[in-house]
Amino acid sequence: MEKSNIVSVIGGGSFGTALAILLAKNHNKVQIWLRDEESVEAINTTHQNPKYAQGINLPENIVATTDLVSVIKGVSLIFITIPSKSFRGVCREIGNYIEADQILVSTTKGFEQGSFKSMSEIISEETCCLKTGAISGPNLASEIMEGKPCGTVIASQFEEVIKKVQLALGGKSMRVYSNFDIYGVELAGSLKNIYAICAGIIDTLGFGENTKGLMIARALSEMSRLAFHFNANPSTFLGVSGVGDLIATCSSDKSRNYRVGKELSKGRTLEDIVQTLGQVAEGVGMIKVIKEKADELNVEMPIVNAMYKIVYEHEPIDKVLEELMTLTQKSDVEYRFAK
């Protein structure tokens, strides 16, 4: 039986929970899939997700389950909120049950290490789904849960996907913009997490707003240079999913990646920081993924290189930042149109 009035969310972390709340408040019946049976029990009996949304009351039209098949079969719109390192494995499981006319939308901000595949590309490889999309933007989960006004972008090559997601998510607290440049939107969402780590370092060391403003501007130039090689639209990086997300993530303690940068600047080890966070900070892995691809394509990305030296080569932060400031001074605006 088709469950056309139900929307499913695969993944019950902080953003998956925030997304489920938003969907439920927009009068959708929501199924959310989690592996953790205790969290499922808590959501269904107390209407709270104590692990990822402590103190937040969930709408009663959210139902949690550990049964992956039940949230797939007959559901026309499905959001996937799985960390990038687990994304392919879950999509492979989904692929056993998905039908070609269902809609799968990724919310994950990352690219696969080794293959440099986007999450929407992985969906297409692992399932028969023909209509895919990705959402990205300045979407700090805690603020969505609190109902604060925000916006996001749904990127897809299919008008049907865009319209269904806008209808499901758009409302008093969320504006949903459209973009056909799905690769550019996914690339912007992945890259900004790297610069958020850098912003955390800058703020904690007290370098000031001038320094962070410079970093954000040069980050946009780096993002545009890499986008050019993938025929993504550089204008995407000047929109909500680009500069909008970059500003939010580089300015808030609510961003896990920003907090990673703050703690690194205090001398803590990456392993200790990640363990304390208890959640995935996608920017940590993306530093390595993006540096390898930029080196392969001979794309100049000085900030990414600097973050790689700090995070993976353990070079002193002050030495790396001094090297950044003494690089050859170049032209300000470098935006180019895709090939």
Active site residues: 192
- Residue type for 120, please? S
Rounded (10°) CA dihedral 218, 259, 283, 103 = -110
Q: Which residues of 9-21 are buried (b: 16+ CB within 10 A; e: fewer)?
A: bbbbbbbbbbbbb
Q: Which of 161, 159, 141, 177 is nearest to 51 (CA)?
A: 141
Q: How far apart are CA 289 and CA 283, in angstroms?
A: 10
Separation of alpha carbons 10 and 8, rounded Å: 6
43 vs 118: CA distance, rounded Å: 31
Element (DSSP H or E) covering residue 201: helix 182-204
The CA dihedral of 53, 56, 57, 59, to the nearest 10 degrees, is -60
Distances in Å between the Cα of 117 and the Cα atoms of 43, 107, 108, 112, 289 are 33, 15, 12, 5, 10
Q: Give the separation between CA 327 and CA 334, rounded to whole angstroms.
A: 16
* CA atoms in the 13 A half-sphere facing the CB of 226: 29
Give, in order, the Cα–Cα distances in Å from 213 to each of 187, 189, 203, 285.
Answer: 21, 19, 11, 24
